[in-house]
Amino acid sequence: LRPRSPGRARHINACRRACLVARFGFIYAQERFEAETLLRTYISDTEMVQRIIYTAAVESFYAAKMAYWKFRVQVKETLSLDRLGSDSLEDAVLDHIVCHKDSYDFHASVKEVICSMNINPKISFPPEFNFTVLSTLIQELCCLAFSMQTLIPPLDIAFGIDGELFNENKYYRSSDSDFTAAFVAYHIWPALVEDGVVIVKGEVVTRR
């Protein structure tokens, strides 16, 4: 099961990290915008559209992280039969996951995300609307989040809550924000963090 070069994932960690961070930025700049445009054909409230996209991002990262840790446990149990040392085993597990990311059942994660969004009290939608229209965006986010868990250290999104104090090191204000307001009204896109440090700012709306 192991790749030929144990520890290879660590050696190319910086390269993988740069690609994944760039991908996160592209999804924010392009695919998020396309998803918002699509949602506006069903929902006229801009704030609700943005809340839905943000919720999709948060739920996608959560679902992908859970799937990653389940997958990691399975791989570790299998490779431990080789009775490797603890360090060698960890490298072998990471290498295997990086080389077999296609084994990740992102379809299951997409379903989990949609189910979670359907019962989320912070978002509302017309009775005829179905979150499956966002499946492409959710799939991209799940696959990205899963890959980010294979980095050392892993990347994650920052926890955000409505009403939190605006932090300019963590967020950008949207163009329609009240720039004198001190608190976040709602989130448009999450910040990306590494070991608790923001490496890509998120976007929020601030209002009095």
DSSP 67-116: HHHHHHHHHHHHHGGG---HHHHHHHHHHHHHHTGGGS-HHHHHHHHHHH
DSSP state of 132: G
| Burial of 42 per CB tally in 10 Å (0-12, 13-18, 19+) | middle
- In terms of phi and psi (left: phi > 0; alpha: psi -120 to 50; beta: otherwise), the region of 124 is beta
pLDDT at residue 127 in the model: 86
**Cα distance between residue 133 and residue 125, in whole Å:** 13
**Residues 115-154 pLDDT 10s:** 999 999 999 989 889 999 999 999 999 999 999 999 999 9
Query: Is 33 among the domain residues?
Result: yes
**Per-residue model confidence as pLDDT tens digits over 13-42:** 899 999 999 999 999 999 999 999 999 999
Tell me the CA distances in angstroms from 31 to 43, 44, 53, 140, 200, one per residue in order. Answer: 18, 19, 10, 9, 17
pLDDT score recorded for residue 11: 67
- What CATH number has the domain bearing residue 165? 2.30.22
- Asked if the structure places residue 1 within a domain, the reply is no
Show which of 152, 170, 187 is a domain's final residue.
Answer: 152
Residues 99 and 33 in one domain: yes
The residue range of the domain holding 142 is: 6-152
Same domain, 104 and 145: yes
Tell whether 49 and 84 lie within a shared domain: yes
